Amino acid sequence: MDSLSGLSRRAMVMSTLAGTLAGFAGAPSLVRAASLRGFYEVRDFGARGDGKTIDSGAINKAIEAAARGGGGTVVVSPGDYKCFSIRLKDNITLMLSAGATIIAANPDVDGAHYDLPEGIFEEQLASHGQSHYRNSLIYGIGLSNIAIVGTGRIHGLGLDRENPEPRWHGIPGWVSPKDQGLDPQTARLKDPEERRYEGRAGKSIGLKECRNVVLRDFSILQGGHFSVYALGCSNMTIDGLMIDTDRDGIDIDCCRDVRVSNCIVNAPKDDAIVLKSSGALNRSVVCEEVSVVNCKTSGYLLGTMLDGTYVPSPYVSPDKLGVLGRIKLGTDSVGGFRNILISDCICENSRGLQLGAIDGGVLEDVTFSNISLRNPVNHPFFLRLSVRNRAPVGAGVAQVRRVRFSDINVSGALGAFPCGIVGVEDGIIEDVSIDNVHIVNSGGGSAEDAARVPPERRNSSLEPSFMGVLPAHGLYVRHARNITVRNSSFETTAPDARPALYFDDVTGAKVSSLSVPGQAVKSVNSRDIQVS
């Protein structure tokens, strides 16, 4: 590639641009212009793309040149570009051409390091990876009008998959930096785990408090702890990404007006697409106005989605239930969720849909519709309210209301894992509707299973596996009000002694047009349960 003259290289880049820009408004005029005005090709700034040279310096020079000109498109032409931190700026589009791969360098062997983390708060309510963004392969903080586009690839080869956990008042023995007589930064670096991650990176793309963002058409292989993490961003489009990773795929945290569409995310060891409202901004921020449409998630072996072989993953999660790879709301829920739509998605060989509020906040007006789940390894969907409260002191009990599940088809489900709607005694889930939901599971529940009383765990995380086998084969509801189930079916391929629906401490439920084998509904400690 380095033997190309400047003229021939520009011709090659123009050809690449013609293909890459074909779907963008204004593309024909750009190609007809037969020039690269407004375009900055990284090899003109010293990038080699040989898979050995550290090219992040050259790419950053191209970005800085474009920024000085008021903005522009930085073109990464075909080649392998080993990089440390790439720093986006306002009004910059980073274009990954077909055949271009940005490879995350390894600080242990490549002679340099990633940018050091930005500041720290007195109390860190989110993990190291959620709290810092400068230590990413590609990052932007407080930027406007930025994009990463093209059909090239990001390979997070040298990125970390783990990072230090939150440091907050809920940890036994935790003492605040102030009470130690230290500033937060000094306290952080006293922790040997925190020091170990200095100069390292855990995210392929980290965006914090950015607006007007487009991520489109590229792929990510082995994306680190977080392939794409957006914190506090607004007006963001994520479209057509293919992500094949061994931790999180796409994280939308404390964001507003986000559209995730046409993405395929394989994440056997963590969440594929997850919405959060964490404490990483040191204030309560609602995650709202988010849609996830026409996406597919799965939990196959790392790399086998992108290479088309789809090999089952042997991974077994800490709760012994196998892979993850699901769509989720609420790992963190300090601010809560509002006006969320998850629609027209396929979830295959992964965990089921999971959502809830466990750190205070309000989850309301959430819809899951037109979803196909095949071979889920646990509950097809589970809605949870608890009081973990990894949030500022005094966060109180969360509220969950107005959640709708409609037009959901599930096959290959396991009998031990029905759907669930579970709150706590002083945290009642309200106004949930289930309409045109059809589930086929393996059944096999015993009379002992039907008589079980699942344990309560008020301060649990979102994961419900601590509850064990539930006393229903279709839907288990506890601590809830105003539940509607209609036009739905819960089938079992083997006989099951449990009822299809089980209501415990439920006030107001309407069940109609239900197709089930055996006993349809059982209720205890409940009132105003109508079955027709």
Yes or no: say if 208 and 185 are a contact pair by the CB < 8 Å rule.
Answer: no
**pLDDT confidence bin for 1, thresholds 50/70/90:** very low
Decide if 150 is inside a domain: no
pLDDT for position 193: 85
For the stretch 380-420, pLDDT in tens is: 999 999 999 999 999 999 999 999 999 999 999 999 999 99
**pLDDT confidence bin for 9, thresholds 50/70/90:** low
Q: How far apart are CA 432 and CA 207, in angstroms?
A: 34
**pLDDT confidence bin for 188, thresholds 50/70/90:** confident
Of 229, 241, 290, the closest CA to residue 265 belongs to: 241
Decide if 507 is inside a domain: yes
Q: Which domain holds residue 451?
A: 352-532
Decide if 359 is inside a domain: yes
pLDDT for position 173: 87
How many domains is the chain built from?
A: 1
User: What is the arithmetic mean of pLDDT over 239-250?
Assistant: 98
Decide if 500 is inside a domain: yes
Decide if 356 is inside a domain: yes
pLDDT for position 158: 97
For the stretch 314-334, pLDDT in tens is: 999 999 999 999 999 999 999
**pLDDT confidence bin for 4, thresholds 50/70/90:** very low
Decide if 440 is inside a domain: yes
pLDDT for position 20: 52
Coil vs helix vs strand at 308: coil
For the stretch 189-234, pLDDT in tens is: 888 888 899 999 999 999 999 999 999 999 999 999 999 999 999 9
Characterize 122-159 residue by residue with b for buried, 16 or more Cβ atoms within 10 angstroms of its Cβ, and e for exposed: ebbbbbbbbbbbbbbbbbbbebebbbbbbbbbbbbebb
**pLDDT confidence bin for 31, thresholds 50/70/90:** very low
pLDDT for position 191: 84
Decide if 12 is inside a domain: no
Is residue 25 scored above 60 in pLDDT? Answer: no
Decide if 447 is inside a domain: yes
**pLDDT confidence bin for 17, thresholds 50/70/90:** low
Question: What's the N-to-C CA distance of the chain in angstroms?
Answer: 72
Yes or no: say if 215 and 205 are a contact pair by the CB < 8 Å rule.
Answer: yes
The pLDDT mean for the chain works out to 93
For the stretch 269-302, pLDDT in tens is: 999 999 999 999 999 999 999 999 999 999 999 9
For the stretch 114-159, pLDDT in tens is: 999 998 899 999 999 999 999 999 999 999 999 999 999 999 999 9
Tally: H helices and E strands in the chain: 8, 34
- The pTM of this model reads 0.94
User: Which amino acid is present at 258?
Assistant: V
